[in-house]
């Protein structure tokens, strides 16, 4: 029952960068505890749409946003919205993993600390727990005090996942989270996503159709700032209804 | 266009007359290009040796020139003595050394926090329109001749210290003081530090800001705990650069610092930094024996202070970079 309630609902969302109308009349529901993939050719607004979910898009100079994004029924663009807490609800994995300039331990503890956790033994316990959640614990347990930048790129991305999970979000946003990774690390992240959807709603941007097929339950196809088609993955990718989707899936446009 | 094409043509035609066969000609050209390549490598190498060599030559020159005064006076008398009376042969440089250090430290204390906060505003908060207005202003500010800063110091800073700061602190002062020197110096290094810190903070990838914000950090938390940390090696480098300049700044400080030979007891006392000592007295040094030599020794001391400061801060920088990466 719970699964049928949309976790994120977007209503009449429009976004402009100066004269560039980057998102046009976006209306969509993101289902709870599923993996939703946003696909489309580069420059179509996938990442922009993803970043409107946690209001990161506002950091870009000169953006004008209109419409509503409802998370758990609450409009995050309301005037009195508590932005840091909205963002805390959503873990973010970026294209390039971005460890914070500090030790492995502090990377995970950072979020918990800013949200008020001070007790050392609690932090220690939780750091271990979340590193295990991201299947990184075994590889780093003996060097938690080393700078996170010394990890391999694949390990860094799992570290970023653990760091995001540590602030106990409900949603995980991934902006092509595997595009900088080698095939094995990619597999790690994909497997992790399919496990994590038990507990989290996952939205990811990807330009790899096969990746969407492998792990996504729902697919949203965008083109030039508009949502052209969306629905269950197999339906959209195997029997696309719209001509543009057919061309994209068929490899005519990319 | 015609001239350009004419030169290689004549070269080739000369070659063909002397060597005759075209494969040879090709080899010849290749050899010449190779030789020229080697030649240029050497030229570049020689020039790149010049500047390090210059430093060594300057130090050597100062050391040689300071030998007479070092033969007459012990090193500790020179460095720790507070009597400076050239006529009687007393050359204690401590008042000058302390003045230099005090003026520089005051300017560091004023300039670093202010310029870092300014750079944070410019890089993290300011809109494009404000940047367009502020960036050229900073450029101009860093290009103003130091004598103008000096005049401004005499007209504004000195009276301000005399009429407001002195009475407020309960100390009688002419306003010509190490505090005035420090303030003028701080304002001079301000634009340099701001510009570099600003550039360094802009290089910090935007994804890092997004990553921090997405954990629920406020903007200030993200700046203070992450962005500054990431930029810290660059910020330190900016401060090193600013203060290597500050140590040796002469004319602007000389105009406001009072130039009295005494150990300053508070920041409203007049001081006499080493650069001012040298600049004020170099012309008349011939009349008093040893004066030339003691000024050279003072210059050497200044150089050594700057070198120590540089080496130490570079060591800090290296450690920090290791810690981050």
pLDDT of residue B21: 52
Q: How many CB atoms lie within 10 A of CB A190?
A: 17
pLDDT in tens, A108-140: 999 999 999 999 999 999 999 999 999 999 999
Tell if the CB–CB gap between A147 and B324 is shorter than 8 Å: yes
DSSP state of B271: B
A126 in contact with B at a CB cutoff of 8 Å?
no
pLDDT 10s digit of each residue in chain B, 325 long?
A: 344 444 444 444 444 444 455 555 668 888 999 999 999 999 999 999 988 899 899 999 999 999 998 998 888 888 998 888 888 888 899 999 999 999 999 999 999 999 999 999 999 999 888 999 998 999 898 889 999 999 999 999 999 999 999 999 988 889 999 999 999 999 999 998 999 999 999 999 999 999 999 999 999 999 999 999 999 999 998 988 888 888 888 889 999 999 989 888 899 999 999 999 999 888 776 677 788 889 999 999 999 999 998 899 889 888 888 877 7
* Structure token digits, residue A20: 């560039």
Residues of B in contact with A51 (CB under 8 A): 210
Q: CA-CA distance, A166 to A125, in Å (whole number)?
A: 11
A59 in contact with B at a CB cutoff of 8 Å?
yes
pLDDT of residue B116: 94
A21 in contact with B at a CB cutoff of 8 Å?
no
Q: A14 has which bridge partners?
A: A66
pLDDT of residue A252: 82
Nearest CA in chain A to B127: A61
What's the fold here for domain B76-324? MetI-like fold (1.10.3720)
Alpha-carbon torsion, ordered A19, A22, A27, A31, to 10 deg:
-150
pLDDT averaged over every residue in chain A: 91
A81 in contact with B at a CB cutoff of 8 Å?
no
Is the pLDDT score of A79 beyond 50?
Answer: yes
Q: CA-CA distance, A99 to B155, in Å (whole number)?
A: 51
Residues of B in contact with A90 (CB under 8 A): 214
DSSP A89-155: TEEEE-SS----SSBHHHHHHHHHHHTT---HHHHHHHHHHHHHHTT-HHHHTT-TTSBGGGS-HHH
Tell if the CB–CB gap between A59 and B207 is shorter than 8 Å: no
pLDDT of residue A24: 93
DSSP state of A57: G
Tell if the CB–CB gap between B214 and A149 is shorter than 8 Å: no
Q: Tell me how many degrees the CA angle B98-B100-B101 measures, rounded to the nearest 5.
A: 65
Number of Cα atoms under 13 Å in the Cβ half of residue B315 = 6
Domain parsing of chain A, residue ranges: 98-168
pLDDT of residue B5: 43
B215 closest CB neighbour out of A51, A147, A163? A163
Domain parsing of chain B, residue ranges: 2-72, 76-324
Classify A110 in phi/psi space as left (phi over 0), alpha (psi -120 to 50) or beta. alpha
Residues of B in contact with A84 (CB under 8 A): 213, 216-218
Q: Are strands A35-39 and A218-223 parallel, antiparallel or unpaired?
A: parallel
pLDDT of residue B290: 84
Mean pLDDT, rounded, for A158-177: 94
Q: Which residue out of A84, A146, A159 would a mutagenesis test of the B interface target, given it has the greatest number of B Cβ atoms within 10 Å?
A: A84
pLDDT of residue B285: 64
Mean pLDDT, rounded, for A45-74: 89
Percent of chain A with pLDDT over 70: 98
Q: How confident is the model at residue A212 (pLDDT cuts 50, 70, 90)?
A: very high
DSSP state of A31: E
Q: Tell me how many degrees the CA angle A79-A82-A83 measures, rounded to the nearest 5.
A: 95
pLDDT of residue B11: 45
């Amino acid at each position: 029952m719970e699964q049928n309630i949309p976790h994120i609902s977007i209503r009449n969302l429009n976004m402009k960068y100066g004269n560039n109308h980057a998102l046009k009349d976006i209306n969509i529901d993101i289902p709870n505890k599923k993996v939703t993939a946003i696909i489309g050719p580069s420059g179509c607004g996938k990442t922009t749409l993803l970043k409107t979910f946690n209001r990161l898009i506002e950091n870009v100079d000169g953006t004008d946003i209109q419409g509503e994004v409802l998370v758990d029924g609450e409009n995050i663009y309301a005037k009195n919205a508590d932005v840091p807490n909205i963002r805390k609800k959503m873990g973010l994995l970026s294209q390039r993993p971005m460890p914070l300039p500090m030790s492995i331990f502090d990377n995970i503890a950072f979020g918990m600390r800013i949200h008020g956790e001070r007790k050392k033994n609690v932090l220690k316990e939780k750091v271990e727990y979340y590193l295990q959640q991201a299947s990184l614990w075994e590889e780093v347990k003996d060097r938690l005090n080393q700078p996170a930048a010394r990890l391999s790129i694949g390990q860094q991305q799992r570290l970023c996942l653990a760091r995001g999970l540590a602030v106990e979000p409900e949603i995980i946003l991934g902006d092509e989270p595997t595009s900088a990774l080698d095939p094995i690390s990619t597999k790690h992240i994909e497997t992790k996503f399919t496990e994590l959807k038990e507990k989290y709603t996952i939205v990811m941007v990807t330009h790899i159709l096969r990746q969407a097929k492998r792990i996504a339950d729902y697919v949203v196809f965008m083109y030039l700032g508009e949502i052209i088609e969306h629905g269950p993955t197999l339906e959209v990718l195997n029997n696309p209804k719209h001509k543009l989707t057919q061309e994209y899936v068929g490899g005519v446009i990319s | 266009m015609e001239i350009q094409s004419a030169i290689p043509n004549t070269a080739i035609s000369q070659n063909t007359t002397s060597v005759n066969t075209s494969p040879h000609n090709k080899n010849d050209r290749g050899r010449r290009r190779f030789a020229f390549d080697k030649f240029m490598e050497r030229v570049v190498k020689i020039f790149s040796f010049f500047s390090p060599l210059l430093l060594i030559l300057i130090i050597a020159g100062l050391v040689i020139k300071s030998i007479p005064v070092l033969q007459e006076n012990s090193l500790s008398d020179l460095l720790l003595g507070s009597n400076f009376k050239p006529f009687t042969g007393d050359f204690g440089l401590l008042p000058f050394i302390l003045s230099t250090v005090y003026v520089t430290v005051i300017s560091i204390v004023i300039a670093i926090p202010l310029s870092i906060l300014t750079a944070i505003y410019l890089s993290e908060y300011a809109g494009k329109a404000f940047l367009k207005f502020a960036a050229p202003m900073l450029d101009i500010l860093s290009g103003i001749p130091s004598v103008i800063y000096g005049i401004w110091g005499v007209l504004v800073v000195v009276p301000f210290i005399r009429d407001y700061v002195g009475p407020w602190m309960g100390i009688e002062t002419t306003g010509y003081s190490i505090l005035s020197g420090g303030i003028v110096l701080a304002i001079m290094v301000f634009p340099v530090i701001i510009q570099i810190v600003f550039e360094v903070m802009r290089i910090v990838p935007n994804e890092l800001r997004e990553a921090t914000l997405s954990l629920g950090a406020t903007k200030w938390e993200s700046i203070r705990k992450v962005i500054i940390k990431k930029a810290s090696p660059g910020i330190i480098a900016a401060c090193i650069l600013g203060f290597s300049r500050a140590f040796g700044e002469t004319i602007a400080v000389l105009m406001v610092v009072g130039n009295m030979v005494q150990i300053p007891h508070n920041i409203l006392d007049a001081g006499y930094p080493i650069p001012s000592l040298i600049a004020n007295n170099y012309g008349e040094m011939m009349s008093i024996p040893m004066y030339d030599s003691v000024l050279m020794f003072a210059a050497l001391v200044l150089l050594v202070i700057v070198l120590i400061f540089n080496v130490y801060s570079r060591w800090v920088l290296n450690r920090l970079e290791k810690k981050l990466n």
